[in-house]
Chain A
């Protein structure tokens, strides 16, 4: 059975304090690894897709990387507006469904 685990569950950072969020996955035939940002009371907002080990994607202060077992979302010099829950999800080689992790709730204090 496919499994996606995110750690930590919650992360508090000071503004400017860089860190990484982890997403470990066990998926039969990974077709894509996805990162989303979700603000309270809203739907997840798509951030990145990673397709193969070694791939990296960047957007502003965020960089996502992928290995054969895990993905990292690196946040460089975060700002309070980066506070949100970050979700990762994996797509296997069968069917149309994503397996989601439980999310990491990020709080950035000024």
Chain B
């Protein structure tokens, strides 16, 4: 079974803080993704990575950065958290097409 884990289920941060969200997959997948999910807006892609140290912007990259130093780990960084980044963050990985998701991190920025 594919296993994608995320470092926290719930996170509360203050405006202006630097926030790190970690994602680890155990299936040796090439591709990893970060999405945010908001009511009425669905799933929106923030960034994805198709190889170690490679990254590409998704639909809404502003205010975020990513890091992929090892194949199994993909980090999402909020450089200076803002209240409009309060959301559910979902990590996914894939070998080719089928994406497998982690449990999600509910981030609240106050």
Contact = CB atoms under 8 A, between A and B. Distances in A.
Interface of A: 31-32, 34, 36, 41-46, 49, 87, 89, 91, 96-98, 100-103
Contacts, number: 47
Given A41-B106, A43-B103, A43-B104, A32 B42 contact: no
A101 B43 CA distance: 8
B48 interface: yes
A14 to B, nearest CB: 26
Contacts of B101: 36, 43-46
A12 B42 CA distance: 20
B28 to A, nearest CB: 16
Interface residues of B, number: 22
B97 A31 contact: yes
Interface of B: 4, 31, 33, 42-43, 45, 48, 50, 58, 88, 90, 92, 94, 97-104, 106
Contact of B48 (A36, A43, A97): A97
A43 B98 contact: no
Nearest to B42: A102
A46 B100 contact: yes
Contact of A91 (B43, B48, B97, B103): B97
A97 B92 CA distance: 11
